[in-house]
Amino acid sequence: MLNKGWAWLAVVAAGGAAALTVPVAALADPGTGARATLAAVGDPASLTLEAPATVARLGSLTLTGTLSAGAGPLSVTRRDLAGSHPLAAVTADAAGAFTVHDKPPVGGANTYTVSWAGDDAYGPVSRQVTVTVSRRAATLSVTRNASTYAYHAAATVTAKLGTTHDVRTVCLYATPRGGTKVKIKCGSGTVTAAYRITRRTTFSAAFAGDQWYLPRTVSTSATARAQISQVLDRQYGTSGKDKLYHRSVDPLLLTRILPARPGGCYGFQAQAYVSKAWRTVLTKTCFTLNGDSIGGVELIGSHTSGMRWRLRSTFAGDATNAAATGSWQYLKFTA
């Protein structure tokens, strides 16, 4: 028979170490029918939390919810772009209903967390809800100093950011057609940068937003003329700006177009100096470029001694580059 009074109940974990020692009332004589009981915390209580999807910044916001455990204090926090902030605690009534009032000062996603610590009957529980707090539209512009540039010319691009709250950073980007978007420059408020352009390019300015103003991106585009490089070949000499050719030689105009477009087209023009004026003799819209984006055109025929010609190549333009015209290449036939 067990003695009356206090006894100690030892719970031994695996390995023989004492894991828990709990004082319990001494067991009475079996005839008394008395038994000791050990209370255990039950499952977590249920908690509901509801809020509107959106609210204006500094507008009145009301969250409502219900705690299944009934009356009890609940803690409330708000997490926004400025950090995490404890709010005034609220108390659920006897039916478990509670209300949270707030006027969120920071725009963007505001996450509210309501928590209950639990009691002897129920475990702790918390719920979250996110409310989008409206922000103003920022004023932002991006401009370039021209719409079309020579190949590899420096485009001057400027971004201007209007009024904001606590962030003034704006960044400029360039996205060449068929290429990858690259950051040109970041700065505060107004940012100007130079970018060498070789093809159609989209310039964009981006503001990441702040506590009061929404993120914003604006863009503008510009293009570059193709680059035309020309060389007259087979001459035997030069006189002023004229390349000199024997009558028995057919001049060859070599042309290269950049950016490279193997198999693409380029044009050709030939003019002769007749009756004290340059007169067009031949215009061709498409000669085919080879794999290196190079083409060649010969001036074939019975050439007249003393006759002057000028030749040039052209590019009609496409989605990548604007039209371009090569400079005139002058030549003269001699005996």
CATH number at residue 115: 2.60.40.730
Are 272 and 284 part of one and the same domain?
A: yes
Structural domain of 93: 47-133
Are 237 and 327 part of one and the same domain?
A: yes
Residue from 203, 328, 212, 216 nearest 272 by CA = 328
CB burial of residue 212 (10 Å; 0-12, 13-18, 19+):
buried
Tell me what pLDDT residue 97 has: 98
Are 263 and 184 part of one and the same domain?
A: no
Are 219 and 255 part of one and the same domain?
A: no
Are 94 and 112 part of one and the same domain?
A: yes
Domain count, the chain: 4
CA angle 68, 70, 76 (to 5 degrees): 80
Residue 238's alpha-carbon distances to 111, 176, 234, in angstroms, are 80, 41, 11
Residue 88's alpha-carbon distances to 56, 69, 84, 128, 285, in angstroms, are 21, 21, 13, 16, 78
Domain stops at, among 133, 149, 180:
133
Element holding 331 (H helix, E strand): strand 329-334
If phi > 0 it is left, if psi is from -120 to 50 it is alpha, else beta; for residue 178 that is: left
| CA–CA separation, 225 and 328 (whole Å) | 17
Task: Determine contact, residues 148/225, Cβ cutoff 8 Å.
Answer: yes
Entry field: residues in the chain: 335
The owner of tokens 């001057």 is 156
Domain stops at, among 224, 259, 294:
224
User: Can you read off the two tokens belonging to residue 263?
Assistant: 């198999």
Are 318 and 246 part of one and the same domain?
A: yes
| CA–CA separation, 131 and 102 (whole Å) | 11
Are 209 and 231 part of one and the same domain?
A: no
Domain of 191, CATH number, reads: 2.60.40
Phi, psi of 206, rounded to the nearest 5 degrees: -130, 135
Task: Determine contact, residues 300/267, Cβ cutoff 8 Å.
Answer: no
pTM (predicted TM-score): 0.78
Tell me if residue 31 falls in helix, strand or coil. Answer: helix
Domain of 271, CATH number, reads: 2.60.40.3930
Are 236 and 330 part of one and the same domain?
A: yes
Element holding 108 (H helix, E strand): strand 108-116
Q: Which amino acid is at 240?
A: G
| CA–CA separation, 258 and 52 (whole Å) | 57
| pLDDT in 10s for each residue of the chain, 335 residues | 343 333 332 333 334 433 333 343 433 444 444 443 333 456 889 999 999 999 999 999 999 999 999 999 999 999 999 999 999 999 999 999 999 999 999 999 999 999 999 999 999 999 999 999 999 999 999 999 999 999 999 999 999 999 999 999 999 999 999 999 999 999 999 999 999 999 999 999 999 999 999 999 999 999 999 999 999 999 999 999 999 999 999 999 999 999 999 999 999 999 999 999 999 999 999 999 999 999 999 999 999 999 999 999 999 999 999 999 999 999 999 98
Are 95 and 156 part of one and the same domain?
A: no
Q: Please enumerate in sequence order all residues whose Cβ is within 8 A of that of 79, keeping only pairs 6 or more positions apart, or say none.
A: 85, 110, 111, 113
Q: Which amino acid is at 42?
A: G
The owner of tokens 């004082």 is 23
Tell me what pLDDT residue 178 has: 94
| CA–CA separation, 19 and 217 (whole Å) | 62
User: Can you read off the two tokens belonging to residue 255?
Assistant: 């042309």
Task: Determine contact, residues 72/91, Cβ cutoff 8 Å.
Answer: yes
Are 104 and 145 part of one and the same domain?
A: no
Are 178 and 128 part of one and the same domain?
A: no
Number of DSSP helices (H) and strands (E) in the chain, helices first: 0, 28
Tell me what pLDDT residue 43 has: 83
User: Can you read off the two tokens belonging to residue 137?
Assistant: 């539209």
Are 65 and 85 part of one and the same domain?
A: yes
Tell me what pLDDT residue 241 has: 96
